[in-house]
């Protein structure tokens, strides 16, 4: 059986169909991680693009 660590709290999580929130240990840890993404505490690296409003990441550009 494969066991992974919860990305939020580091608890061991069995990678099975019974582990409803995998790779997280619980819904709480899943929501904490989602909140971190929403607050931009996590980000996927990308090139910085200069705009009239100042530097922005390429993923933030408007394609008008």
Q: Is 20 annotated as a binding residue?
A: no
Q: Return the structure tokens found at 50.
A: 């200069």
Q: Is 9 annotated as a binding residue?
A: yes
How large is the greatest C-alpha to C-alpha distance in the chain, in angstroms? 53
What CA–CA distance (Å, rounded) separates 64 from 2? Answer: 46
3-state secondary structure (DSSP) of residue 33: helix
Q: Is 25 annotated as a binding residue?
A: yes
Residues tagged in the binding site annotation for Zn(2+)? 6, 9, 25, 29
Residues tagged in the binding site annotation? 6, 9, 25, 29
């Amino acid at each position: 059986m494969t066991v992974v660590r919860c990305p939020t709290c580091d608890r061991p999580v069995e990678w099975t169909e019974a582990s409803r929130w995998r790779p997280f240990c619980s819904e709480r840890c899943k929501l904490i991680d989602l909140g971190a993404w929403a607050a931009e505490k996590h980000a996927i690296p990308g090139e910085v693009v200069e705009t009239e409003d100042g530097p922005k990441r390429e993923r933030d550009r408007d394609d008008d």
